[in-house]
Amino acid sequence: MNLNAIGIIFSNMHDEEMHEITGSRTMGALPFGGKYRLVDFALSNMRNSSVASVGIVAKSNYQSLLEHLGSGKEWDLARKREGLFLFPPYGRSSAGIYKNKIEALNGIMTYIDRSRYDYVIITDCDTICNMDWEEPLSFHITQGADITVISYKLKAEEERKKETVYSLSPEGLVTDMKISQTAKESDIIGTNMWITGKQFLVSMIQEAMAYSLTDIEKDIFQKNLCRYKIAAWEYNGFLRKINSLNDYFKANMDILEPEARKVLFYNHGPVYTKVMDEIPVRYGHKAKVSHSLIADGCLIEGQVENSILFSAVTVEKGAVVKDSILMKGTYVGENAILQYVLSDKAVTFSNGRMLVGCEQQPIYVNKGSKL
């Protein structure tokens, strides 16, 4: 049985906040965890929750995203009826390209309106978790809510900047929300994932367009807390929000822990991604590897510790890679030393090169650089 909802994924939001690595790709296409891309989490959650129709809204730099998604077959969304829908900017002569989510949703109104399902699930790509949408959807229905936001209660030692913080009534209704706050332990924050009814969404967007509103959170949710019934459903599993380069680095490092991998990648269903046909990893005689994730296609002759290596990374003899994340095709020459380095795709570190960052400030190396 399909879930009674369509999915809409925004692939571009928050690009500006981490412009270093989203310069040449949209947020959704950001590589994560050795072989995945952020959009895989949003898409796999929908697939594993039997959402039959998913629309992906892309605004700019979407080439690598389109390449990654293909027909959607990896997520079982290459269907004759429904399946995966891609919405790159669709500029009409009168309106031009959309500038915000409200305009974007208005632009795909036909897709929403034609759906044969009663609800709509909307998410960005900046939150990674492994979640069953069925639970918040039934919560939304039993609460009789107009909108249900997926919330997350910060755990001990978690501190986050620029978050939306909710105040809730005992029944789980949002009574107040503050935007762009520094949030601390046990604060309840937003995740940019929400559910609403199809008809409700259609009229909400039509009204917003009529008043030229621009921001869903500020202009609609926040200003209508009394008028709309906005509920919050708390997700209490493993969840990471990625709004900065440091968030990104840390979230990757977190999955080096076996327990985190178990819940993020297998909890409610596997995370699917595009299959790359890389050959298995080869370790040489002098290889020394510890507490690391290594993707297929790598060749390891040197030392790797506490790191994540994406596919087809080469670590030559005598090289040392520590506390680093090396994306696809990175080449680490003989005797090179890297610590706290985040290298983008196809970076070359020449023999003997040494780069050392620190935990709070990993060194980011641009795509294709030769050092």
Partner 1 sequence: MQKECIAMLLAGGEGSRLGVLTKNRAKPAVYFGGKYRIIDFTLSNCVNSRIDTVGVLTQYQPHELNDYIGNGQSWDLDRANGGIHILPPYQRREASDWYTGTANAIAQNIPFIDRYKAEYVLILSGDHIYKMNYYRMLEYHKEKGADCTIAVIEVDIKEASRFGIMNTKEDNQIYEFEEKPKEPKSNKASMGIYIFCWDKLKHYLELDEKCDNSANDFGKNIIPAMLAAGEKMYAYPFYGYWKDVGTVESLWEAQMDLLNQKENILTSDMHWTIYANSPVRLPHYISSKAKVDNCIITEGCSISGNISSSVIFQGVTVEEGASVSNSIILPGAYIKKQAKIQNAIVDENTVIGEMSCIGEAAPENTEKSIPLTVIGRNVHIQDSEAVEGNMMVDVDHREVIS
Per CB under 8 A, residues contacting partner 1 are 33-35, 73-74, 256, 258, 261, 265, 270-273, 275, 277, 279-285, 287-296, 300, 304, 308-310
**Coil, strand or helix at 354:** strand
Could you tell me the smallest distance in angstroms from the CB atom of residue 80 to partner 1? 14
C-alpha 284/C-alpha 287 separation (Å) is 5
Q: What sign does the CA torsion over 180, 184, 185, 187 have?
A: negative
Shortest Cβ 68–partner 1 spacing (Å): 13
| Whole-angstrom distance, CA of residue 272 vs CA of residue 78 | 14
Q: Which residue has the tokens 């840390």?
A: 250
- As a whole number of angstroms, the distance between CA 368 and CA 366 comes to 6
Structure tokens at 104: 């974007």
Q: Provide the minimum distance between the beta carbon of 41 and partner 1 in the complex, in angstroms, as a whole number.
A: 13
Read off the tokens for 321: 């890679």
- The residue among 52 and 304 lying less far from partner 1, judged by its C-beta, is 304
Q: How far is the CB of 310 from partner 1 (least distance, A)?
A: 8
Distance between CA atoms of 297 and 328, rounded to whole angstroms? Answer: 9
Q: How far is the CB of 259 from partner 1 (least distance, A)?
A: 12
Cβ-based neighbours of 240, under 8 Å, separated by 6 or more: 127, 128, 129, 247, 250, 251, 254
Would you state the structure tokens that stand for residue 66, as one six-digit string? Answer: 């389109």
Please state the closest distance from residue 127 (CB atom) to partner 1, in A. Answer: 19
Q: From the CB of 153, what's the least distance to partner 1, in Å?
A: 27
C-beta of 343: minimal distance to partner 1 in Å? Answer: 16
Of 310 and 340, nearer to partner 1 (C-beta) is 310
- Report yes or no: 189 and 152 within 8 Å, Cβ to Cβ: yes
112-148 exposure pattern, b = at least 16 Cβ within 10 A, e = fewer: beebebebbbbbbbbbbbbbbbbebbebbeebebbbb
Instruction: Considering the complex, state which of residue 104 and residue 308 has its C-beta at the smaller distance from partner 1.
Output: 308
| DSSP assignment string, 167-195 | EE-TTSBEEEEEEEEEE-TT-EEEEEEEE
Distance in Å, CB of 206 to partner 1, minimum: 40
Nearest to partner 1 of 230, 304 (CB atom):
304
Q: Nearer Cβ to partner 1, position 43 or 188?
A: 43
Q: Which helix (H) or strand (E) holds 239?
A: strand 239-241
For residue 139, the one-letter residue type is F
Order across the sheet with 331-332: list the strands. Answer: 299-300, 314-315, 331-332, 348-349
